């Protein structure tokens, strides 16, 4: 009996691996940019981070994923659920951040998390330097 269950376990494990690989293949690279890399001046100032979540097409009908932002100050944004059309190949998302007080300096970054099933991706932005006068 043990002999017959070993091949079955191997098949189940192989299916699990291929399912995870399939989910990972649904995403292309994630890229993050900011509306500025350095700022010196009056504050508060608006910094806008823009993320491009690339999707490999076509994806299966009913495919969904979620994403959220985490700022370098520890603030976590809401979890957003997305259900792209089978032909959609990119989603552009934004994280605005208004901050600053006279005489302060900040080094900011954000991290974008993208999740679907067993696939968990993350990308960190470049650091934006803000000096308030």
Q: What is the pLDDT of residues 95-111, one digit of tens each?
A: 999 999 999 999 999 99
Domain count, the chain: 1
pTM: predicted TM-score of the whole model, two decimal places: 0.80
pLDDT for the residue numbered 98: 97
Half-sphere exposure of 39 (CA within 13 A, CB side): 26
Query: What average pLDDT does the structure give for the chain?
Result: 86
Domain that holds residue 100: 2-132
Confidence tier at 12 by pLDDT (50, 70, 90): very low
Compare 31 and 118 and report the one with higher pLDDT: 31
Confidence of residue 57 (pLDDT cuts 50, 70, 90): confident
CATH number, domain containing residue 48: 2.60.40.3880
Arithmetic mean of pLDDT, 28-41: 97
Provide the pLDDT for residue 24: 53
Largest CA distance in the chain: 76
Spatial separation of the C-alpha atoms in residues 4 and 57, rounded to whole Å: 39
Distance set, CA 52 to CA 16, 74, 78, 111, 113 (Å): 28, 22, 17, 12, 12
Edge-to-edge strand ranges of the sheet holding 80-82: 80-82, 65-71, 110-116, 119-124
């Amino acid at each position: 009996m043990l002999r017959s269950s070993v091949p079955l376990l191997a098949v189940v494990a192989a299916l699990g691996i291929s399912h995870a690989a399939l989910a990972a293949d649904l995403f292309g690279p994630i890229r993050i940019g900011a509306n500025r890399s350095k700022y010196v001046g009056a504050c508060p100032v608006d910094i806008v981070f823009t993320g491009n979540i690339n999707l490999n097409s076509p994806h299966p009908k009913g495919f969904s994923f979620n994403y959220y932002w985490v700022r370098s100050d520890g603030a976590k944004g809401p979890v957003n659920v997305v259900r792209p059309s089978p032909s959609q190949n990119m989603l552009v998302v934004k994280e605005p951040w208004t901050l600053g007080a006279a005489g302060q300096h900040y080094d900011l970054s954000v991290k974008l998390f993208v999740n679907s099933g067993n696939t968990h991706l993350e990308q960190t932005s470049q650091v934006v330097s803000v000096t308030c006068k």
